[in-house]
Amino acid sequence: MLDLTSNSVDLTRAICDIPSVSGDEGHLADLIEEAVRALPHLEVIRDGDTIIARTNLGRARRVAIAGHIDTVPINRNVPTRTVDIDGEEFIWGRGTVDMKAGVAVQLKLAADLVAPKADITWIWYDHEEVAAALNALTRIAATRTDLLAADFAILGEPSNGQVEGGCNGHMRAIIRTHGVRSHSARSWIGENAIHKAAPILERLASYTAREVPVDGLVYREGLNAVRITGGVAGNVIPDLCEVEVNYRFAPSRSGAEAEAHVREVFEGFEVEVIDMAEGARPGLDDPLAQEFVAAVGGTAQPKYGWTDVARFSALGIPAVNYGPGDPQLAHHDEERVAVAQIRDVERGLRAWLT
């Protein structure tokens, strides 16, 4: 069982020690559901392995606070442990940064905040770390949009305990070259598809990524090869080569514009888009967002990675990222979160909501 009377640091270790790699979140979802169903002030709804718990106090405003419960694959970094680095205490292990520390804070506050100043919809959802089509929020937005309804949304994505507005868009595409197979002893008879990929790599190596101001924040783009495949056998000239590219684009650009840009960069090659997620503008001009930033302190920063703030933005709900953990350590084998950040984020959210 999850003990929601314990502190958020202990809760972080407890839920990180429950493996929940994408596709295997069911057990953790069961435990979260069991814990929040015991709280009489919350209405609890389960959709697949997503748990939604909400207050219904008739407040003038509703805030959605969400966090995903899945992680990338474990690599000898579970169970968690406490480590000391230069006198600062950290919890080390898979999911501590991305993003179970944020989920732990949310679970603690969901239990404690019986009468918050705004109604709250707590959302703990599955399949965030995989293709966008599998993301539970995709399903819920299509089938139960009412469950996501809010005036403002906060994603517990790691942000070093600072508010990060919006997010870059994300696209993956396959760039293909074709050739003709032949025996490598008579290579002149064939056409080597791998050799034909050289101009693709040259274009990527010489590509200058943009820095784009959007509503007061500057987003950095990136276009990079992330995988290359080709080859038949050690003595065969290959007839196919595929270069997978990842494009992170500023939220001022639509998905269609991003695709057009990639096709322009790789003009003359076959291009297939295999995954796409729109970005989200910062939304910091919204009064609720401004109130939140002022309450938790600091200066808002841009979110370079893609997060599910984009899903709320697409529904017309301004959303920000706010959670403990250094984003640069997300998915890292040395993933670890500062205990002080967990406590600071809990204090910030608690102060704003009470």
Is 33 annotated in the active site?
Answer: no
Under 8 Å CB-to-CB from 350, ≥6 apart: which residues? Answer: 109, 112, 113
For residue 61, count other CB atoms closer than 10 A to its CB: 12
Contact yes or no for 300/320 (Cβ under 8 A): yes
Among 250, 313, 243, 251, smallest CA distance to 274 is for 243
Report helix, strand or coil for 20. Answer: coil
Q: List the catalytic residue out of 25, 33, 49, 70.
A: 70
Beta bridge partners of 131: none
Among 328, 301, 327, smallest CA distance to 218 is for 301
Helices 287-296 & 339-353, crossing angle to 10 degrees?
Answer: 130
For residue 193, count other CB atoms closer than 10 A to its CB: 22
Beta bridge partners of 240: 178
Summary count for the chain: helices (H), strands (E): 9, 19
Is 112 annotated in the active site?
Answer: no
For residue 213, count other CB atoms closer than 10 A to its CB: 11
Q: Phi/psi at 135 (nearest 5 deg)?
A: -60, 130
Q: List the catalytic residue out of 25, 49, 128, 346.
A: 128
Q: What are the catalytic residues?
A: 70, 128
